[in-house]
Structure 1
């Protein structure tokens, strides 16, 4: 079974590009996430952090 999969994967043209593409997407996603975290306002982060403890928000129908 494994031999079949290996032979099948080798027959696909450009298969070596997929791991590099997935690594690039992963890297870009986390770079953008870190950029968003470091540039977001402290007030917004504090507001979002206190949201679960806000009684007015939890009691809304």
Structure 2
């Protein structure tokens, strides 16, 4: 099976560029994510971090009614 895949991959023109494109997409995504984390406002981070607690409080209030 592995021999078949190796031989098949060798017949594709430019097959070496696909891993490089994948690595580039991976790097760009995490570079943008890293930039966003350090530039996001503290108020936004605090607001988003409270979302799970607010949903839990809402569910508890609905159950008691």
**TM class by smaller structure:** 0.7 to 0.9
TM-score normalized by the length of structure 2: 0.80
In structure 2, the residue matched to 1:23 is 23
Provide the C-alpha distance between the structure 1 equivalents of 2:29 and 2:20, rounded to a whole number of angstroms: 14
Q: For 1:5-39, what per-residue CA distance to the aligned partner results, in whole angstroms no more than 9, with x for missing partners? A: 11110000000000110000000000000111111
Match of 1:6 in 2: 6
Question: How many residues are matched?
Answer: 58
Separation (CA, whole Å) in 2 of partners of 1:52 and 1:34: 23
Gaps of 5+ in 2: none
Instruction: Find runs of 4+ consecutive structure 1 residues off by over 3 angstroms.
Output: none
